[in-house]
Structure 1
Amino acid sequence: MDRNSNSYTFLFAVILVAVVASALAFAATQLQPAQAKNVKEEKMQNILGTVGISTSRDSAQVLFDKHITQRIALGADGKEKPEVNAFEVDLKKELKKPVEEQSFPLYVADVEGVKYYVVPLRGKGLWDAIWGYVALKDDVNTIKGAVFDHKGETPGLGAEITQEWFRKRFEDEKILDESGNFIGVSVAKGYQGGDNKDDNAVDAISGATITGDGVTDMISERLKNYLPYFKENTNVKVAANL
């Protein structure tokens, strides 16, 4: 075949594309187990982080097994769904379903004899998805800790939800009022409450109003689905006003 012909050039390009595609597919297949392991360990790190346990990925599994005493999947009615593996529930997929068909993962942690309830979160920021975890103390009202992450928020603005100084604003905030009615926690622009932990609000990030609203909505939308379970399975006064 004439190497200067168009047919030779076309054939060479086809073969080259096929070889590169095959190499990339092989590499992706080989890397899948490692990628899945990294995702799993990062998820464990985040869950543990909400209850004050900082760990490397290498130690995440051991500490997760030690401190997470229950992994529960709930229905919208607050009843357990034993057929569902809570750890494998993908909130991205669940949020596409009607609420009554969704599964709601819940992790029960024990740290030095103190019980915490860890709830996964997912919502929408300015540009794309935001997500995280929030841990409630055993009064199912007071936040122990929170972790947030995002897919594409603006660096220096909405992306700051991942920073420790922002996460700490949620510590000891309440999600219920004195009557047990669910309020949530608002990320409030121009917040003047200082260190008040009973006003159901934290200070927003300057210049990131839409991302802050996304965090507010995410916390409210996700946590309210756990009220039926908390009402039936704890001694705390929860109005479960859905």
Structure 2
Amino acid sequence: MQRSNTYIIVFSAVLTIILGLLLSGTSVVLKPLQDKQVDLDNKKKILGAVMDISSINDPNEILALYEKRFSSIVIDINGKIVEKDKKGNPVIAEKVNIQKNYKVAKDERLYPVYQFVSESDPSKIEAYIFPMWGAGLWDWISGFVAIESDLNTIKGVAFDHKTETPGLGARITSDQIKDRYKGKKIFDDSGSLVSVSMVKGEKGLPLDDHHIDGMSGATLTGKGVNSMMLNYLECYKTFIEKTKKGGVSMVQAN
């Protein structure tokens, strides 16, 4: 039976509304689960910057370990602890979206600082973990850089990416590349912040305290990592210098 144009239009509109409501409802139902998974993934990366968690498969164990060994604060570009946002709401490090902050001017960003504390003495900080975001060859790259309590020596790193080339730039997530950063220094002998740079090419030669071997065929990804690390460490520099002098009180905990 032939339908009128009005019937077809009304039917299509009703169907579109129903499907839209179903999709919207599904999104609302799934969002808490998605947020929980994002939170778990971030905590795994933070933990991965300071210890080997490859043998831990239970999410509850990951969360318990994080709860036991980490505290956190949020600072501004001047190294001052930020406890509330402009609306007066509490600021929580684990809920700061680094990707969104990356699009904001440096002096207006929020900068989370994660503190890896001693298992026997929670008041003793063994490492500081600084999250960062940048651009790789094809899309975003991100990282968590852990600095020893001397606030100079790299304890470990955890990098991630969206679409770097498999076997080339994607190697930034491999243990082989991450291990090269361990023990390197972000300040030179004169006290200037120089970060740690990945050189061009991969020769397997020993390098100084501020350089690591590169990745063959992935020069642009390496440059992206270098730029990301230097840019963000410069943003954390004032906090680092204040903390070295005992000028920042670690007051917030997760």
Pairwise same-fold verdict (TM > 0.5): yes
Matched residue, 2:22: 23
Give the Å deviation of 1:182. Answer: 0.8
Give the Å deviation of 1:118. Answer: 0.4
Residues 1:104 and 1:188: Cα distance change in structure 2 (over 3 Å):
same
Residues 1:52 and 1:111: Cα distance change in structure 2 (over 3 Å):
farther
Out of 122, 128, 132, the residue aligned to residue 139 of structure 2 is: 128
Give the Å deviation of 1:41. Answer: 0.9
Matched residue, 2:249: none
Matched residue, 2:65: 63
The Cα RMSD (Å) is: 2.2
Out of 216, 219, 240, the residue aligned to residue 206 of structure 1 is: 216
Q: Give, in whole Å, the separation in 1 of the partners of 2:202 and 2:191.
A: 24
Question: Is contact 1:191-1:202 (8 Å) kept?
Answer: no
Identical amino acids, percent of aligned pairs: 36
Structure 2 unaligned blocks of 5 or more: 85-90, 247-254
Give the Å deviation of 1:95. Answer: 2.3
Residues 1:155 and 1:3: Cα distance change in structure 2 (over 3 Å):
farther
What is the TM-score when the length of structure 1 is the normalising length? 0.87
Give the Å deviation of 1:191. Answer: 5.1
Higher RCO, Cα 8 Å, sep 6+: 2
Are 1:138 and 2:142 an aligned pair? no
Which has the higher mean CA deviation after the structures are superposed, 115-124 or 18-27?
Answer: 18-27
Give the Å deviation of 1:177. Answer: 1.0
Which has the higher mean CA deviation after the structures are superposed, 104-113 or 221-230?
Answer: 104-113
Which has the higher mean CA deviation after the structures are superposed, 201-210 or 14-23?
Answer: 14-23
Once superposed, which parts of structure 1, at least 4 consecutive aligned residues long, lie more than 6 Å away? none
Q: Aligned ranges for residues 147-166 of structure 1 at < 5 Å? A: 147-166=158-177
**Equivalent position amino acid for 1:175 in 2:** I
Are 1:39 and 2:38 an aligned pair? yes
Give the Å deviation of 1:203. Answer: 1.8
What is the TM-score when the length of structure 2 is the normalising length? 0.83
**Equivalent position amino acid for 1:230 in 2:** I
SS in 2 for 1:146: strand
Question: Is contact 2:202-2:215 (8 Å) kept?
Answer: no
Q: Give, in whole Å, the separation in 1 of the partners of 2:17 and 2:165.
A: 38
Question: Is contact 2:45-2:158 (8 Å) kept?
Answer: yes
SS in 2 for 1:170: coil
Are 1:110 and 2:117 an aligned pair? yes
